[in-house]
Amino acid sequence: MINEFSGIGNLGKNPTLVTVDVESESRKVANLRVYFDRPVGEDFKDKGGFWLSVDIWGFRAEEAIRVLKKGARAYFSGTLRMESWTDHETGEIRSEMRLSADYFFIDSMCVENVIYREKKQQVTSDVAA
């Protein structure tokens, strides 16, 4: 079964960066709330959408924190997963669908300016044959 998702949406708030322990390894993850709308017609009126929690892991997490801000419109692509937990106040079991994003791209219509980084130098090694 394929559980991949891709969509374009707007950030509901600034992303947060946390460090979590996964299999005895510390990893960074950016947490976002994104509203995926369904604009229709020339006036782009929202014809219904949904909120989805999005996680961006590793080196992309730090980039997400750096470039994504509340209201930014971006494309996200990744794998959906169901996450469950016990609510500390009520004791009820809660669950939500989350997107582990492999990629994100900012919608260029929302960008005022772009500054490109210099290309990183590749490390080469001489190996005796």
Q: Predicted confidence band at 109 (pLDDT cuts at 50, 70, 90)?
A: confident
Q: What is the pLDDT of residues 73-101, one digit of tens each?
A: 999 999 999 999 899 999 999 999 999 99
- Topology of 4-110 in CATH? OB fold (Dihydrolipoamide Acetyltransferase, E2P) (2.40.50)
**Long-range pairs for 105-113 at CB < 8 Å and ≥24 separation?**
105/74, 105/75, 106/67, 106/68, 106/72, 106/73, 106/74, 107/8, 107/72, 107/73, 107/74, 107/75, 109/73, 110/72, 110/73
Q: What is the pLDDT of residues 14-38, one digit of tens each?
A: 999 999 988 888 999 999 999 998 7
Can you tell me the mean pLDDT for 116-125? 70
